[in-house]
Amino acid sequence: MASKLPFIIGLGAGYVLGTRAGRAQYERMKSAASRAAQRCPVAYSRRNDAKGHPVTGMKTDKKYVLAIDQGTTSSRAILFNHDGEIVAVAQKEHAQVLPRAGWVEHDAAEIWANVRSVVAGVLSKAEVNRHEIASVGITNQRESAVVWDRTTGEPVYNVIVWQDTRTQKICDRLAAAAPKPDGSPDYDRYKDRVGLGLATYFAGPKVAWVLENVKGARERAEAGELLMGTMDSWVLWNLTGGATGGVHATDVTNASRTMLMNIDTLDWNPEICADMGIPASMLPTIRPSSGIFGLGRKNGLLIDTPIAGILGDQQAATFGQACFEVGQAKSTYGTGCFMLMNTGATPVRSRNGLLTTVCYQIEGEPPVYALEGSIAVAGSLVQWLRDNLGIITHSRDIEALARSVDDNGGAYFVPAFSGLFAPHWRPDARGALVGLTRYVNKGHLARAVEEATAFQTREVLEAMNRDAEASGTTLQELKVDGGMTRDELLMQFQADQVGVPVVRPKVTETTALGAAYAAGIAVGFWSGIGDVVANWAEGRRWDPAMDAAERERLFRNWRKAVTRTLDWVDDDVVE
C-alpha cells in the first residue's frame, strides 16, 4: 500500500505530483542529460551575463531544431534553422476510425510508425543527421488519450480523439454526484480547481471510459501494469525507449487539458482522479514545457538527442506567434479553431464560457496562463463538404466556390457535429443548415461554411473581451495561423466580423515552430523568448472593411441560427 503513495517534487515555480517510479525515472533522465551536457556543453547549456540575464546571439555547433507535430489528421516532422525558417518538412496522414456516430478514434501504433517515418523523411530531405540537431520539440493534438501496457508498449484500446463524445454519460454521472443547491447537476464542480467544466472534450473521462469498458483494463491499471497519456506522452515514451526505459512524462499545457491537474499548483488532483477511477500509477510526471524531458532512444535515428520541449498544439502556436505579453492573442484555424489570450502569471477564471489553461512554462520560471475559446469544427467542416457531400474535390476549392456568389443567400451553417464548444458548451446541440430557399445554390453553401468559422470566432473573441475587461485588456489585433488562413476570403470576412485587424505571420507553421522554440530555448540554441519575438515577422494583414450595420445584421442571424441547434439530443435521438 505504502509503495503506491504519491510523492511531491519541486519543479520550477510549482510542485508536481507523480509516483515513486516516476521520480526514479526523472532522476535517471536528469543524470543522462547531465552526461550529454558534459559531452557537448555549448549545445546543452544556457549562457548568462554577470547579472544572470540570458545572452542573445549565442553560438552553437548545432544548426537545427526538429519539431514533431502529431496532429488530428497527420503527423509531421519539420526542421527549423536558427532564424525560425523551415528547412524541410515530411508529413504522413493516419486513418480516422469512426466506429459509430459521435465516436472518433486513431490507431496509436499507426501514429508511432508514422512519427518514425516522418522523422526519417525530413532528415533525408534535408540531408541532415542527428549530430546537427540541437534538440527535438513535440506538439500534439490535445485531449486525445491513449492507455497502454508499460511492459509491452501495446495500447489496450485505440486513441480516443478529442472530438469524441462517448463520455457524455460519464460526465453526466460526475455532475449529478455533486449537485448544485437547486439539485441540478453541476458540470462546473471541478472548474475552480482545474479551469475546465465537465465535458466530453477532455482526456480524463476518456481514460475513465477505457477502464470501465475494456475487459480487464481496470484490474491491470490497479495492478500498476498500464500507463495513460495524451499523445505527447505516447510519442515521448516511444522516442526515449518505450518499454526499455522510455520517459513517461507530459508538460503543464497538456496536463491542463486532462481535467485532472490543479491549475494553480500544477500537480495531479488525487480526489478528481479517484472520482474518475484513475489510479495514480497510470499518470505521467508533469514537467515545464521547455526543459529536457529525456534523450533519443539508442535504436532510433535521434540517439541521445535531447527531447527538450513539449506543448499542446494550441499553446505551441501561441508560443510560436510570440504572444508573450498579457492581452496578446492568436487564433489557429485547423480541424477546429482555437483562440488563446495570454493572461500572465495569474490564472483568470472565465465567467463567459471560456477555459482557463496553462499557456506555457519555461523550466525555472513561473507558469504563464491563458484564456481559451475552443471551437470543435472549422476546417473539418470543409472536409465534410468535400468527403461526405462531394461538393468540392479539394479543400482548397472552397474559396473559389464561395467567391462565385456575392453573399450567403440567407443560408447559415452551424456545424454542431459533436455539440457546441465555447462559449456555449451544449452537448445537446447538433448541426443545422438554416435559412434555405430555392435560391440557395452550392456557392451559397460554400460561403455559409466559410462564414461559420468567422462567426464562431467572433463569439469566442467577445467572450474573451468580457473576461478580460476587469484587467482593462481588450484585443487590438488578432494573430492567425493554420491552413485555413491561406483562404483570403475567409480572413477578410474574419476581420470584418471581429472588427480588429487580422494578422498572419510569414511562417504560418506556428504550431511546430512553437514546439521548436521551446526545445531550442531549453538547450541554448535560442537564448530566450526575445529571440522568438525577434524572429516573428508579419506576412499579411486584413483590416475591417464591412459596413457596421451589415456586420451586425449578419451576426444577429448567426445567433438566431445557433438557437435552432439546441435541445436536439434527447431520448428519441439514436446516434
The string of pLDDT tens digits covering residues 7-23 is 333 333 333 344 444 54
The string of pLDDT tens digits covering residues 129-151 is 999 999 999 999 999 999 999 99
Phi, then psi, of 159 in degrees rounded to 5? -60, 130
Q: How many CB atoms lie within 10 A of CB 543?
A: 12
Sign of the CA dihedral with 310 first, then 515, 144, and 330 last = positive
Say how far apart CA 68 and CA 78 lie, in whole Å. Answer: 7
Q: Is 0.85 surpassed by the pTM of this model?
A: no
pLDDT at 77 over 90: yes
Say if residue 393 is exposed, middle or buried (CB neighbours under 10 Å; 0-12, 13-18, 19+). Answer: exposed
Enumerate residues 6+ apart whose C-beta is below 8 A from 549: none
* pLDDT for res 294: 96
555 near 344, Cβ under 8 Å? no
Residue 369: all three cell numbers together: 496562463
Transcribe 68-130 into DSSP letters.
Answer: EEE-SSEEEEEEE-TTS-EEEEEEEE---B--STT--EE-HHHHHHHHHHHHHHHHHHHT--G
64-70 vs 74-80, strand pairing mode: antiparallel
* pLDDT for res 48: 42
Say how far apart CA 190 and CA 209 lie, in whole Å. Answer: 18
Sign of the CA dihedral with 416 first, then 352, 71, and 379 last = positive
pLDDT at 39 over 50: no
pLDDT at 61 over 80: no
The string of pLDDT tens digits covering residues 251-285 is 999 999 999 999 999 999 999 999 999 999 999 99
Tell me the CA distances in angstroms from 88 to 113, 239, 308, 416, 537, one per residue in order.
Answer: 20, 20, 20, 36, 20
Say if residue 61 is exposed, middle or buried (CB neighbours under 10 Å; 0-12, 13-18, 19+). Answer: exposed
* pLDDT for res 469: 78
For 431-445, letters b (16+ CB in 10 Å) and e give: bbbbbeeeebeebbb
Amino acid type, 453: T
Q: How many CB atoms lie within 10 A of CB 523?
A: 29
Say how far apart CA 191 and CA 195 lie, in whole Å. Answer: 5
